[in-house]
Amino acid sequence: MTGPTVRAVIFDLDGTILDSEPAYWESDRAFLAGWGMEYDAATNEAMAGRGARAFMEIMEELFPGKAFHRLPMEERIRLKDEAYLAHARTRVRAFPSVEAFIAWLHGRGVPMAVASGSSREVIDATLDGAGLLWRFPVRVSAQDVARGKPEPDVFLEAARRLGVDSSRCLVLEDSLNGARAAKAAGMAVVALPPPARPTAPRTRPRTWSFPGGRKPSTWRWCWSSGISGRPPPINETGPILADRACRIVPGSAAGMSRRPRR
Q: How many residues does the chain have?
A: 262
The answer to whether 193 and 176 are in contact (CB under 8 A) is: no
Long-range contact set of residues 77-83: C-beta below 8 Å, sequence gap at least 24: 77/52, 77/53, 77/119, 79/31, 80/28, 80/31, 80/52, 80/55, 80/56, 81/52, 81/119, 81/121, 81/122, 83/27, 83/30, 83/31
Q: Please tell me whether residue 168 adopts helix, strand or coil conformation.
A: helix
Active site residue: 12, 14, 19, 153, which one? 12
Long-range contacts of 97-102 (CB under 8 A, 24+ apart): 97/232, 97/233, 97/234, 97/235, 97/236, 98/11, 98/16, 98/17, 98/172, 98/192, 98/234, 99/17, 99/130, 99/132, 100/232, 101/231, 101/232, 101/234, 102/11, 102/17, 102/132, 102/135
Active site residue 124: no
Give the active site residues. 12
